[in-house]
């Protein structure tokens, strides 16, 4: 799998920044070539225009925005989902990374 980019979205991009660090450690441990970053919901559209994003994960606190993001991302073939609340609360980078990779792979299978 070529290098992929995962964008995490939350209210201010702060709480997901901690999760990004855990996900990056998990990616290194599993030898997965991935770029992971967090952004505030208000900046997400700009980030999508600035770089190629392979999948988007929403923090549980912004799950109410899922439909709005789906309308933007589905036509672009970018999968989106909400991070499992327990995994988010526990900052389980390995599990969330697995969720993102599965989403990316499902797009490849379906296309």
Question: CA dist 72 to 9, 49, 51, 79, Å?
Answer: 14, 11, 15, 10
Q: Is there a catalytic annotation at residue 10? A: yes
pLDDT tens for the chain, 111 residues: list them.
688 999 999 988 677 889 999 999 999 999 999 999 999 999 999 999 999 999 999 999 999 999 999 999 999 999 999 999 999 999 999 999 999 999 999 876 655
How many angstroms separate the CA atoms of 32 and 54, rounded? 14
Annotated active-site residue in 6, 10, 26, 32: 10
CATH C-level class of 4-110: alpha beta
Q: How many CB atoms lie within 10 A of CB 37?
A: 16
Residue ranges of the domains in the chain? 4-110
How many angstroms separate the CA atoms of 72 and 86, rounded? 27
Q: What is the pTM of this model?
A: 0.92
């Amino acid at each position: 799998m070529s290098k992929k980019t995962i964008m995490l979205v939350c209210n201010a991009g702060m709480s997901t920044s901690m999760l990004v660090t855990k996900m990056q450690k998990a990616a290194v441990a599993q030898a997965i070539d991935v770029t992971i970053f967090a952004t505030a919901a208000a900046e997400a559209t700009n980030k999508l225009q600035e770089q190629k994003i392979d999948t988007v994960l929403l923090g549980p606190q912004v799950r109410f925005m899922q439909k709005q993001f789906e309308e933007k991302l589905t036509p672009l073939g970018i999968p989106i989902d909400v991070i499992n609340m327990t995994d988010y609360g526990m900052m389980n980078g390995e599990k969330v990374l697995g969720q993102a990779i599965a989403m990316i792979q499902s797009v490849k299978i379906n296309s």
